[in-house]
């Protein structure tokens, strides 16, 4: 599986609770924080839910 670098570009303040929980599950707690995850169906679903808040790069 490919790896992706996920960076939180916008704050989760004022967002619906499900989007906040998704960002927290990805360990994105502050803007401009990045994590590297192995791409799978669960990660793809999370990225789809908060696509407007994050930037995704293929590694």
Range of the domain at 35: 3-58
pLDDT (average), residues 28-51: 95
> How many domains is the chain partitioned into structurally?
1
CATH of the domain at 19: 3.30.1390.20
DSSP state letter for 9 = -
pLDDT(1) > 80: no
Contacts of 45 (CB under 8 A, 6+ apart): none
Place 5 in a pLDDT band, splitting at 50, 70 and 90.
very high
The model's pTM:
0.88
């Amino acid at each position: 599986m490919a790896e992706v670098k996920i960076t939180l570009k916008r704050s989760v303040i004022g967002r619906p609770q499900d989007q906040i929980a998704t960002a927290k599950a990805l360990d994105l707690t502050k803007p401009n924080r990045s994590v590297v995850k192995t791409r799978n169906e669960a990660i793809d679903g999370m990225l789809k839910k908060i696509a407007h808040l994050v930037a995704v790069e293929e590694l």
